[in-house]
Amino acid sequence: MFPDGWPGCALVLLRASVALTILLQGYSRHGDLSVWRLGLIVAVSLLLAGGIFTPVFALLAIAIEIIGLSAVGSSGVTAADVVMVVSSSLAALALALLGPGAYSLDARRFGRRVVDLPFAEKK
């Protein structure tokens, strides 16, 4: 659940990439955003970068990206904006499916252990 080594480093880079993307897109629209929305973007990006509840915050990052794009309106959206949102959303979806990795606060909190279910059939 929490891969280490090179895959763990790759997950750190993926978390940082998604966090920076939503921060930069939030900063580019900071004049149009209310204080609580800007605070939500900053909080999600910091928690995502730290690896806290990564699948939840990665899905929330996708929602922030899509809502942010739709809030701009069809007149202000360029093809580059759409490509950026799709690219960032795909990276966030991959992060939600893969998990935080060994170099995260989730790994520190939950630990790396194998759970054997007594009712599971062994082959």
17: in domain: yes
122 is a domain residue: no
| Closest to 70 measured CA to CA, from 82, 53, 56 | 82
113 is a domain residue? no
Note whether residue 111 is domain-resident.
no
Into how many domains does the chain fold?
1
pLDDT at 19: 92
In a domain, 109, yes or no: no
**What DSSP state is assigned to residue 103?**
S
- Nearest partner of 58 among 105, 24, 90, 35, judged by Cα: 90
Answer whether residue 108 is part of any domain: no
35-50 vs 54-72: helix axis angle to the nearest 10? 140
| 58: containing domain | 5-102
Q: One digit per residue, pLDDT tens: the chain, 123 residues? A: 676 788 888 888 999 999 999 998 888 777 777 888 888 899 999 999 888 888 999 999 999 888 877 776 666 778 888 888 888 899 999 989 988 888 788 778 877 665 566 776 666
What global pTM score does this model have?
Answer: 0.79
